[in-house]
Structure 1
Amino acid sequence: MTLVFGEVASIYDDVRPGYPDEVRQAILDYAGGPPPSVVELGAGTGKGTELLLRLGAPLTAIEPDPRMAAVLAANFPAAEVVTSTFEAWQPTEKPGLIACAMAWHWMDRETRNSRAWVALRDGGTLAIFYHRYGYADPAQEAAIDELLNRLDPDVVAREEHWVLDDVTAAGLWSDVEERRWHRYPVFDRDRYLALMQTFSPFRRHSPEVRQRALRELGALLDSFGGEITLDLRTSLVLGKKR
């Protein structure tokens, strides 16, 4: 499943939202200034890379899908792009910051914390940031949830603070904390349907099920007046290697 996004790399790059600059500032404040170097895990097409490069440190971006990595390299020539999984990556030096934007769940659950801890230099920072997609209008959210659950009843949503719980439970990190921000972007019908095509629960289905989902979602968006306002909840989880 880590390679399904390459099928829609250009759409992903166009419609997936980036991160507010408050995330960058929060990392700097927590770390006590710019790190000497940064490694980003599961960089995709660079939604987190864009923010991390503004830390002002050399950045190595690891991305397993070569199609995503190609877009990433074209978007951010200042980054060193490594086409690899986190598990297969062999670091040449220990970075001061290991970051992961919207990809922590793709890392091996049993080893992701310990691998990051070993790879990080002493005193370094772990920063995991990600979005949760909600809707500003509760009635619209209920209608979309009903439709998606009917099409895919097996999808189980992660807990609201699952990354915080995961990092804390690892028992490796000091000074673990979570920070959160809300934004309310407006998506028109076509852009919302494009966004839906970049989510893994959608991509795992057959073309026939995907087309049905897009037709029904499109009709629902039409009934909302052709657009929808998201409640985009961004979380940042930070930990320190002591």
Structure 2
Amino acid sequence: MKIVEELEGSGGLASIARMTEAIAALETRRTELIQELRSQRLASWEEIGQACGMTRQGASRRWSRQAHATSFGAAAAAYRRGRPPYPESAVDWLIPGTAKSVLDLGAGTGKLTQLLVARELAVTAVEPLAEMRSELVAAAPAADVRDGSAEAIPLENKAVDAVVVAQAWHWFDAAKALPEIARVLTPGGTLGLVWNVRDHSVAWVAELDRVLHRHTRQEIDTRPSIGTPFREVERLDVRWEHALTRDELLDLVASRSYVITMPGKDRDELMHQVSELLDSHLDLRGRKKLTMPYVTRCTRARLAS
């Protein structure tokens, strides 16, 4: 009550402003604490809900997306080892031939950043998680790596000719991210979104997904709508294959956000089931090298001039 009295002071609009600022700061800190508890598997959603005066479902709905988005820091090295690159034909389509500067937004460990740097573009890579940025700097030292987010991009107005988002758009608040992306793009610049999606038409990949989805299912819209001020929205699918080892496939599974945030016992059981699949499936057992089929789904839109 003493804190409330201090914030209230003599009342009026100034008091409301002080209270609003204090509430926002407390909510930010509460979110950080919840993310720490979930990333370290120290509390369940039911326990967090009770502490917040909410149901388990209410707490999960409110904070699970943020917890998943920030969970990758705990598995940054596994993410780098296990995640696939992107096919050159997709990058050709996403980046206009006239572009000289590009922003890789939500760049992660630099899987796409490396391909952009190799094209001798002026590349800025923005990534909010420190652990991911460490991997990113090592992978793409020629890029200008910055701390930031899609909702608050650390660039000047009209700074780049193209913005690309690889495997990250579903973590953004699109209502805030689109105006920010438009701000940093030159007139007529392009926004490109890309996801690598496992090709479930292959039998062993379908079985792998069945194992993963026993525990949880993460639905991602890989053909999102892109609103104003963007126009001329186009789509492209690229089918290709990525060679990887058994250990790299296990890293691929371990780097999924929903796997990182699982309780330790459930996560260990899932990894055991994936290992059993690798040992027993007719298309996989005894093989040191595997081939993962992918469909890379791309969306491209142009900023109105």
TM-score in same-fold range (> 0.5): yes
> 2:150–2:181: 8 Å Cα contact kept in structure 1?
no
- Give the unaligned 5+ runs of structure 1: none
Deviation at 1:226? 4.5
Deviation at 1:198? 0.8
Q: Which runs of 4+ in 1 moved over 6 A?
A: none
How big is the alpha-carbon RMSD for the aligned residues of Structure 1 and Structure 2?
2.0
Deviation readout 1:184-230 (Å, 9 max, x if unpaired):
23444332211100111211211111100001111112111155542
Match of 2:79 among 12, 25, 43: 12
Q: TM-score, normalised on structure 1? A: 0.87
Give the greater-gyration-radius structure (CA).
Answer: 2
How many angstroms apart in 1 are the aligned matches of 2:243 and 2:122?
34
How many angstroms apart in 1 are the aligned matches of 2:243 and 2:155?
40
Show the counterpart of 1:117. Answer: 182
> 1:10–1:71: 8 Å Cα contact kept in structure 2?
yes
> 1:2–1:65: 8 Å Cα contact kept in structure 2?
no
Tell me whether 74-83 or 127-136 shows the greater mean CA deviation: 127-136
Q: TM-score, normalised on structure 2? A: 0.70
Match of 1:91 among 155, 165, 168: 155
How many angstroms apart in 2 are the aligned matches of 1:203 and 1:89?
27
How many angstroms apart in 1 are the aligned matches of 2:242 and 2:223?
24
> 1:189–1:226: 8 Å Cα contact kept in structure 2?
no
Tell me whether 58-67 or 15-24 shows the greater mean CA deviation: 15-24
How many angstroms apart in 2 are the aligned matches of 1:239 and 1:55?
21
Deviation at 1:108? 0.9
Whether 1:134 aligns to 2:199 is yes
Letter of the structure 1 residue corresponding to residue 93 of structure 2: A
Show the counterpart of 1:223. Answer: 280
> 2:75–2:260: 8 Å Cα contact kept in structure 1?
no
Q: Secondary structure at the match of 1:64?
A: coil
Count of equivalent residues = 231
Q: Secondary structure at the match of 2:238?
A: strand
Tell me whether 228-237 or 59-68 shows the greater mean CA deviation: 228-237
Deviation readout 1:148-168 (Å, 9 max, x if unpaired):
22222xx24234x423xx22x
Show the counterpart of 2:53. Answer: none
Match of 2:223 among 149, 162, 166: 162
Q: 1:86 to 1:9 in 2, by over 3 A?
A: same
Show the counterpart of 2:230. Answer: 173
Match of 1:36 among 87, 97, 100: 100
How many angstroms apart in 2 are the aligned matches of 1:230 and 1:195?
11
Letter of the structure 1 residue corresponding to residue 168 of structure 2: A
Q: 1:209 to 1:226 in 2, by over 3 A?
A: farther
How many angstroms apart in 2 are the aligned matches of 1:135 and 1:21?
22
Show the counterpart of 2:69. Answer: 2
How many angstroms apart in 2 are the aligned matches of 1:58 and 1:143?
42
Show the counterpart of 2:115. Answer: 51
Show the counterpart of 1:23. Answer: 90
Deviation at 1:34? 3.6
> 1:34–1:55: 8 Å Cα contact kept in structure 2?
no
Q: Share of identical aligned residues, percent? A: 28
In terms of fraction of residues, the more helix-rich structure is 2
- Give the unaligned 5+ runs of structure 2: 1-67
Q: 1:149 to 1:77 in 2, by over 3 A?
A: closer
